[in-house]
Structure 1
Amino acid sequence: DPTPEITWGEVEFAIKQMKTGKCPEADNVRPEHLKAGGLPLFKALAVRFSRYLREKETPAAWKKSRTILLMKKGDPENLSNYRPITLLSQIYKTFSPVVLNRITKDLNMFMSREQTGFRRGYSTVDHTHAVRQLVEKCNEFQIPLCLAFVDYKKAFDSVERNAVLNAVDKCGVNPNYVDLLMEM
């Protein structure tokens, strides 16, 4: 099953979502440049991005980044008071959401409607309301209830990349996207 070509509309959507005033990386491209490029640039990037997807290979420069530390608050001697910011190519930051949007469409078909975290159009407020109702009903009917809330600190940092890629693959995401993610 061939992977559909990336459209200029997908590129335009990704570029329009970019925040302006960001620091450029080594390529000196800013979001303002991409937005000003208009339709000719959107079309050219769509052709190039489609090639990356077809060949499952992205530019080597995209694998390089520069990380800076921004002070949050507190003692400057304490490293936990800093937040790392990774500076990446703006072209890469255009390509990534295009691929992510396609993967998300595949994953949304697999996920249950109860999964509300980190999904567009869903809210964890619904779960908060459901828990509140559950507590009220258990109190009303004098039914014992135990609830546990787990908040994993730096949970994203602790997940193995291969485990995520295997899970995405098992969810039926187009193998070309999985291969491309592994290459990125």
Structure 2
Amino acid sequence: MCAKHIENLKYAPAELSRLIADAFNDIFEKHQPLNVGTGVLISLQKPGKPLGPLKSLRSIVLLTTLRNTLSLITLQRISDKVDDFLSPPQSGFRRGRSTADVIWGHRWLVAKCQRYKYVIEILGIDMSRASDTICREKLLSILHSFLDTDNAQIIRLLLSETNLTVRVDDALSAPFNTTVGTP
């Protein structure tokens, strides 16, 4: 959906929000299907990387506005519980935290090591492709340990029957099913 339509949804009257809420409630209460699992996979050139190699591209999935709306509602519903579940040092994808926190902590450790002549080893994990490799069943199992059934069911819907179409310029591939990662 183009940015204009998304802006229209954002600033629409409250009645539209009620209609969307009713549609979402019908999905779960009446077991009505809603096709929120489709997306278009595109690749963008990473800034400052050489043209051509696949490692120089960043893949992103363009999702439907309805799916993004459901995702944002779910995120708002579960964010406090997820924050309570995560360990305090975890900074990625958390409200009020950023990469700057991790960089500050690293620099503080380096300064202390230099001052007191300590030698430490730091283990770093490249999380740049973390969302591409998530085992969905394992994620759902972990989420079930601290989320209520309703929120876990919404997340299961968002992760199930995910079909992607690859777009290169104006050409689209045939849709294919994905079972790993999160769109």
What's 2:40 paired with?
Answer: 66
How far apart, CA to CA, are the structure 2 residues paired with 1:124 and 1:75?
Answer: 27
Structure 1 gaps of 5+ residues are 1-21
> What TM-score results when the alignment is normalised by the length of structure 2?
0.68
Aligned Cα RMSD in Å?
2.9
How far apart, CA to CA, are the structure 1 residues paired with 2:20 and 2:2?
Answer: 21
How far apart, CA to CA, are the structure 2 residues paired with 1:83 and 1:137?
Answer: 36
Structure 2 gaps of 5+ residues are 159-183
136, 143, 154: which one aligns with 2:118: 143
SS at match of 2:126: coil
Judge conservation of contact 1:58–1:183 (CA < 8 Å) in 2: no
When you count helix as a share of all residues, which structure comes out higher? 1
When you count strand as a share of all residues, which structure comes out higher? 2
How many residue pairs get matched? 156
Aligned-residue offset at 1:163: 1.3
**Correspondences of 1:32-71 after superposition (within 5 Å):** 32-54=7-29, 58-59=33-34, 61-70=35-44
What's 1:175 paired with?
Answer: 149
What's 1:6 paired with?
Answer: none
Aligned-residue offset at 1:177: 1.6
> What TM-score results when the alignment is normalised by the length of structure 1?
0.68
Aligned-residue offset at 1:110: 1.9
Structure 1 vs Structure 2: percent identity of aligned residues? 27
- Distance change (3 Å), C-alpha of 1:102 and 1:57: farther
Residues 79-88 or 149-158, more deviating: 79-88
- Distance change (3 Å), C-alpha of 1:168 and 1:62: same
How far apart, CA to CA, are the structure 1 residues paired with 2:43 and 2:108?
Answer: 43
How far apart, CA to CA, are the structure 1 residues paired with 2:45 and 2:114?
Answer: 46
1:119 aligns with 2:71: no
What's 2:162 paired with?
Answer: none
Aligned-residue offset at 1:97: 0.7
